[in-house]
Amino acid sequence: MTVVSLSLGASARADDGQDEVTLKSGGTIRGTVVSSEPGTSVKIIELGDKEVRVIPWAQVSDVERGKFAPKSATQPGSAGPGYGAAPPPQPLPAPAPTLGAPGVVRLHVESPKPVRVIEEHSTTVGAYGGYGFAVKQFRPVCASPCDKVIDGSDGRRFSLSPEDMPPPDPFTVSQMTGDVTLHVAPGSYGRHTAGFWLTILGTTAAVLGGTFLLLDSTSPSYEYDDAGNEIPDDGGVSTPGLVTLIGGGATLVGGIVLLATSGTSVTLEQRDGKPPAKTAQVKPRYWLGEF
């Protein structure tokens, strides 16, 4: 049996009351534990008493020494390097753009569909594995109707982020001042898709029709007379090949027209008596796969 005991010297005070004995009945006894012998008993001097009380171990649930001992206050440590010094000076905020300066305009957006104005914030250029790359970062400016002062004096480009129409080409306001209205003429994804497929089908049909005509012109054909003799037949142009070529060409032209008119266009209007500035729209290079 392991005996854990605590012997008190003459200087021990019976009224310290720092320990607690919990009884199985649910009660507690506060005082100073003289000894604790598991399986035997616990001896304790109750708070305010001088006599030792012996509690059989069968009645004891728990013995907690120092439960009511005074807690020492925690002293803060050193602040460590960097603390206590004056904070570094913060950079001053950039001055707000002044309306009236070249390229600083109050933009108003007129669009039948909701659009957001996006600013090309910065461009990162680099190289990896022998190949160059450029990463553009965009930042939202406002949503239609906008009516916000924007700074395009450095020639930065702005674009639109529409919800259900093709985005137009970027535009700049570096040569404009004051109040400017951006007129949006929405394009159509459906017209763009139809133009794409008509262009593909028309190109395919035109190539097939031209191939039929070429084969007919290079391959001789013969007819036979009543005696069974071969007579060269120069019956002219093959009708199926000609029809396929003409139909393919018409389909191709229709597809190109749909593609050219499916994009969203924008017009900038200076609202101080100056004529509107039509934003140039770059046509897609179909031979490079741009549609």
Sign of CA dihedral 151, 157, 163, 166: positive
Domain boundaries, the chain: 4-64, 104-185, 189-262
Q: Which residue has the higher pLDDT, 248 or 273?
A: 248
Percentage of the chain exceeding pLDDT 90: 1
pLDDT level of residue 8 (50, 70, 90 thresholds): very low
* pLDDT tens digits, one per residue of 253-287: 887 887 777 777 888 888 765 544 444 444 554 54
C-alpha 84: how far from its chain's center?
A: 39
Q: Say what the pLDDT of residue 283 is.
A: 53
Percentage of the chain exceeding pLDDT 70: 67
The token pair that represents 6 in the structure block: 């605590």
Q: Which residue has the higher pLDDT, 49 or 227?
A: 49
Minimal CA–CA distance to 177: which of 257, 229, 105, 71? 105
Q: Say what the pLDDT of residue 175 is.
A: 85
Q: Say what the pLDDT of residue 56 is.
A: 92
Q: Say what the pLDDT of residue 272 is.
A: 64
Q: Say what the pLDDT of residue 257 is.
A: 80
* pLDDT tens digits, one per residue of 55-109: 998 888 888 888 888 876 666 666 666 555 667 777 776 666 677 788 888 989 8
The token pair that represents 291 in the structure block: 């549609």
Does the pLDDT of residue 23 top 70, yes or no?
Answer: yes
Query: 30, 19 in Cβ contact below 8 A?
Result: yes
Report the chain's mean pLDDT, rounded to a whole number: 75
Query: 193, 120 in Cβ contact below 8 A?
Result: no
What letter would DSSP give residue 282? P
Give every CB contact of residue 3 below 8 A, 6+ residues apart in sequence: 37, 38, 40
Start-to-end CA span in the chain (Å): 92
Q: Say what the pLDDT of residue 4 is.
A: 44
Q: Say what the pLDDT of residue 173 is.
A: 86
Does the pLDDT of residue 9 top 50, yes or no?
Answer: no
CB atoms within 10 A of CB 76: 5
* pLDDT tens digits, one per residue of 171-210: 888 888 889 998 988 877 777 788 788 888 878 877 887 7
CATH number for the domain running over 4-64: 2.30.30
Question: Long-range contact list for 92-96, CB < 8 A, 24+ apart?
Answer: 96/149
Please provide the DSSP assignment of 193-205 as one string: HHHHHHHHHHHHH
Query: 159, 167 in Cβ contact below 8 A?
Result: yes
